[in-house]
Structure 1
Amino acid sequence: IEGVAVSAFDVNGAGITVHLADGATLKARLLIAADGVNSKLRDMAGIKTVKWDYGQSGIVCTVAHERPHNGRAEEHFLPAGPFATLPLKSDKDGTHRSSIVWVERSEDAEKLVDGDDLVFEHELEQRFGLKLGEIRVADRPRAWPLGLTIARDFVAPRIALAGDAAHGIHPIAGQGLNLGFKDVAALAEVVVEADRLGQDIGALDVLERYQQWRRFDTLQMGITTDVLNRLFSNDIGPLRAVRDIGLGLVERMPRLKDFFIRQASGLSGDTPKLLKGEAI
């Protein structure tokens, strides 16, 4: 049902009644809140969050470039924050495109987005480089404030949080997407197994299994991205030397490098079956 918001919901013993903004109602056993980091459903459920602001904003836009990216994604760690280039499919007319996530201090990000287009493109070119030929901004850049937000609870009676509604982390290393995939796969596995056993899929004891599965991994990744951001988003000499040595060691130790690759791929720990390509 597109374009219709949830205005309220009522939990009653055997199910949940969801009231939509257009006056319609839906009845179900389980409501999944996957409505983003500023989740209204989470607030309606009375679930509190732990959050803090990084003082950074992520500038997002699409860039058209002369040469193909060949599916390659890159991330550079700059003093103000990471700069990531993410490959997109070519446009209908064959134009090569990439999406960028460019982290700057919030006040600088707002000036760049609201300022002169030529200045923005010049600053972008300094970071993007010309390895893919001439570049141009293909849509209007927007800036999003960055922070860490983690829900105190991932579940409530007949309600489960998934994706950014449960956790909003720093975009460094792109781990928010992996966390969301894990949430969906874990919740699906818990719900399917409970249903096969004849259990109520919206009962709190069933949903607690999902929460226990996902809470530690989410907290661990939130702390990891927080530390990485603080480690790399600065130009302090001693820290720069330590991180350069660390990256050099990882590059020279294949087993350690493989470990970090698995971590970054979201395939570490207790991975849900769907993410391993297995049927539930």
Structure 2
Amino acid sequence: MSGKTVDMLVCGGGYVGLAVAVAVKSSAPSLSVAVVDAAPVDSWRKDQRASAIAAAARRLLHALGLWDSIMPEAQPITEMIVTDSRTGDPVRPVFLTFDGATPDGEPFAHMVPNLALVTALRQKADELGIAIHQASVAAGLSVGPAMAEVTLVGGTVMSARLVVAADGVRSALRDMAGIRTMHWDYGQSGIVTTVAHERPHGGRAEEHFLPSGPFAILPLTGNRSSLVWTERSADADRLVAGDDLVFEAELERRFGHHLGELRLDGGRRAFPLGLTLAREFVRPRLALAGDAAHGVHPIAGQGLNLGFKDVAALAETVVEAHRLGLDIGSLATLERYQVWRRFDTVQMGVTTDILTRLFSNDIAPIRLARDLGLGLVDRLPRLKSFFIAQAAGTTGESGPRLLRGQPI
């Protein structure tokens, strides 16, 4: 069956796929852009999770004209504390505290409901005339000298000068292109849920390092918090599938009583955790973005923000090539994007891997060393400022313009 020919085809209708489509189309209106989304119709409306949006990603969203509609549901993180203890310890000493502001005075991150983020992206895509096709990619990716062709389930073929694979950590397009990955499984799963609590959180985020992995309490608007609770995979599956009373009792043991009475405010799901890094981010006519290029442990809360960095770098690469009259899908053009993003991605992958192995155990000498390290960081203001800047994504002025809040 004949399909449609566009300048750029984005496969994947999540945050990263929609954001790169919006960023390119809003900066270069003459380029034709389409999105193919394999998720069931309106399934995105059922997403009850929330994400940490770093300051640099917030600037990108603001530059794209999205932040004003998201802001009413965004909760700034005003403070962060880090503890290291066992689940049954009566007291959890705080080893490290962070002021939630960057040197520029803006919050280093906001917690944003996923529904608010995707709604804003889809509305902007509709305003820009970006078509979103509800279809899955079949086993068909053909790359020619001037165009790439993607075959959808049902036989429709779509052609584009550039195909962006933003189809997740198990990317079908990445596999079709023969791009290999480095991957290992941590044997952990992240339980994600939302709780309502009696007392206000004051915008404070908490990261409790427990023997089975980090337990993060992340503030939402109102007296609510989003939880990212790491457990060994078998235990996580048992908790998610089990009785509500057992789940709530185990949650309370980890959460504590400092915010008063707790109750679940939504469903709960568990996601397997691992590290996946693509060996290449680009091929002729193809660029990987988001989880298709990299999947990291949520211990540093940087997974989505890495994806938004991809968006900023890829959009600037494509738009500037288009303005210069260059081929937006040529390997020579796309190499700039790969150089821009690979080192930062590998660095974050290594960092999260080290942190995961360092803090997901109960070995006494390692516990002592890490607690001394946390205490040392807490006493060095310049080092703390460096870590805040890293978490906010605001280091350096040589990065993509969108991450600085500037239009391309």
The two structures have a TM-score, normalised by structure 1, of 0.92
Paired with 1:43 and 1:84, the residues of 2 have a C-alpha distance of 33
Instruction: Name the structure 1 match of 2:363.
Output: 236
Q: In the TM superposition, what is the alpha-carbon distance from 1:2 to its structure 2 partner?
A: 5.0
Q: What code does the residue aligned with 2:278 have?
A: A
Paired with 2:329 and 2:169, the residues of 1 have a C-alpha distance of 23
Paired with 2:399 and 2:209, the residues of 1 have a C-alpha distance of 29
Instruction: Name the structure 2 match of 1:212.
Output: 339
Instruction: Name the structure 2 match of 1:263.
Output: 390
Paired with 1:155 and 1:130, the residues of 2 have a C-alpha distance of 49
Q: More deviation in 119-128 or 22-31?
A: 22-31
Query: Residue 5 of structure 1 is aligned with which of 131, 136, 140?
Result: 136
Instruction: Name the structure 2 match of 1:93.
Output: none
2:208 partner SS: strand
Paired with 1:124 and 1:14, the residues of 2 have a C-alpha distance of 55
Structure 1, unaligned runs of 5 or more: 91-95
Q: In the TM superposition, what is the alpha-carbon distance from 1:193 to its structure 2 partner?
A: 1.3
2:336 partner SS: helix
1:277 matched to 2:392: no
Q: More deviation in 96-105 or 19-28?
A: 19-28
1:65 matched to 2:197: yes
Paired with 1:71 and 1:34, the residues of 2 have a C-alpha distance of 32
Q: What code does the residue aligned with 1:82 have?
A: P
Instruction: Name the structure 1 match of 2:265.
Output: 138
Q: What code does the residue aligned with 2:407 have?
A: A
Q: In the TM superposition, what is the alpha-carbon distance from 1:40 to its structure 2 partner?
A: 1.1
Q: In the TM superposition, what is the alpha-carbon distance from 1:11 to its structure 2 partner?
A: 1.7
Q: More deviation in 63-72 or 126-135?
A: 63-72
Paired with 2:143 and 2:407, the residues of 1 have a C-alpha distance of 32
Q: More deviation in 10-19 or 207-216?
A: 10-19
Paired with 1:27 and 1:87, the residues of 2 have a C-alpha distance of 43
- CA deviation string 1:119-144 (max 9, x = no partner): 11001011122333221122332211
Paired with 1:263 and 1:104, the residues of 2 have a C-alpha distance of 26
Instruction: Name the structure 2 match of 1:177.
Output: 304
1:19 matched to 2:147: no
Query: Residue 34 of structure 1 is aligned with which of 137, 156, 166?
Result: 166
Q: In the TM superposition, what is the alpha-carbon distance from 1:10 to its structure 2 partner?
A: 2.2
Q: What code does the residue aligned with 1:274 have?
A: L
* Conserved? CA contact 1:147–1:168, under 8 Å: yes
Relative contact order, CA 8 A, sep 6+: which one is greater?
2
Structure 2, unaligned runs of 5 or more: 1-131
Q: In the TM superposition, what is the alpha-carbon distance from 1:14 to its structure 2 partner?
A: 1.2
2:302 partner SS: helix
Q: What code does the residue aligned with 1:9 have?
A: L
- CA deviation string 1:19-63 (max 9, x = no partner): 222443332211111111111111111111110111111111122
* Conserved? CA contact 1:6–1:19, under 8 Å: yes
1:50 partner SS: strand
Q: In the TM superposition, what is the alpha-carbon distance from 1:159 to its structure 2 partner?
A: 0.7
Paired with 1:70 and 1:37, the residues of 2 have a C-alpha distance of 34
Structure 1 stretches of 4+ moved >6 Å: none
Instruction: Name the structure 2 match of 1:221.
Output: 348
1:30 partner SS: strand
Paired with 2:196 and 2:175, the residues of 1 have a C-alpha distance of 39
5 Å matches for 1:66-215? 66-90=198-222, 96-215=223-342
- CA deviation string 1:250-277 (max 9, x = no partner): 1111111111111122223553211111
Paired with 1:177 and 1:208, the residues of 2 have a C-alpha distance of 22
CA RMSD of the aligned region, Å? 1.6
Q: What code does the residue aligned with 2:165 have?
A: A
Paired with 1:248 and 1:13, the residues of 2 have a C-alpha distance of 57
* Conserved? CA contact 1:185–1:273, under 8 Å: yes
